[in-house]
Amino acid sequence: MKKRILVVDDEEGLRLLYKEEFEDEGWDVELAASGEESLEKLEQEPIDLVLLDIKMPGMDGVEVLRRVKEKWKDLPVILCTAYPHYKHDFGTWASDAYVIKSSDLTELKQTVRDILGKKQ
């Protein structure tokens, strides 16, 4: 069965881009436009990995990360953000990987493969 990624990002263009690129990679992709929506999706569907933006209106990525790790502590989360300096923030340490957003998705795709590959 295909592994399923949940992409959480408030930017519509990026959700679409990630969906298409990761489907090309052979993954199933679910989308959430906000932190709140991502938590709802996680309750409803089996998810193997969360790709999480940090800076979102409403519940931000750091808070989502905290709640995810509380409830599903083995679910891998990749923090994905435009801001390199969040890397020094204690709140982000619980994530499994930290990728700085770029139009070149090579690093992000590799990180996803590394994590989901390991779980098989």
Partner 1 sequence: MEYDIIGEMAGLAAPGKSGVKLARAAGLLLKAFGFDQCCIYVYGKSGFALKGHSGKGARAVSYGPSEGAPGLGRGKRAALELYKLEAGEGSWRGVEDRGLKGFRYALVQPLEAGGEFHGVIYLKSIERKRPGAEDRRRLRKAALQLTLVIKYAEIEKELESAKEELKEARAALKDSERLITLGDMAAALAHEIKNPLISIGGFAARLGKHLGPDVPGAQYLERIFVEVARLEKVMDGAFRFIKDSSLDLKPEDMNAIAEEAIRPFEEDLASGGIELRKDLHQGRLPVLADREQLKIAFDNLIANAIQSMEKGGVLTMTTALSGQYVLATVADTGAGIEPDAIDKIFNPFFTTKRNGTGLGLTITRTIVARHKGSIKVESRAGAGAAFIIMLPHAAAEGQAQRQ
By CB under 8 A, name the binding residues for partner 1.
11, 13-14, 16-17, 20-21, 55, 82-85, 88-90, 100-105
Task: Give yes or no for a contact between 56 and 83, defined as CB atoms under 8 angstroms apart.
Answer: no
In whole angstroms, how close is the CB of 84 to partner 1 at the nearest point? 5
Classified as helix, coil or strand, 5 is strand
Q: Which of 26/84 has CB closer to partner 1?
A: 84
Nearest to 116 by CA among 52, 10, 25, 20: 25
Q: Which of 24/43 has CB closer to partner 1?
A: 24
Q: Which of 72/82 has CB closer to partner 1?
A: 82
80: left (phi over 0), alpha (psi -120 to 50) or beta: beta
In whole angstroms, how close is the CB of 119 to partner 1 at the nearest point? 26
In whole angstroms, how close is the CB of 81 to partner 1 at the nearest point? 10
d(CA 104, CA 9) in angstroms, rounded, equals: 17
One-letter amino acid of 77: V
In whole angstroms, how close is the CB of 80 to partner 1 at the nearest point? 10
Task: Give yes or no for a contact between 116 and 9, defined as CB atoms under 8 angstroms apart.
Answer: no
Q: Which of 33/105 has CB closer to partner 1?
A: 105
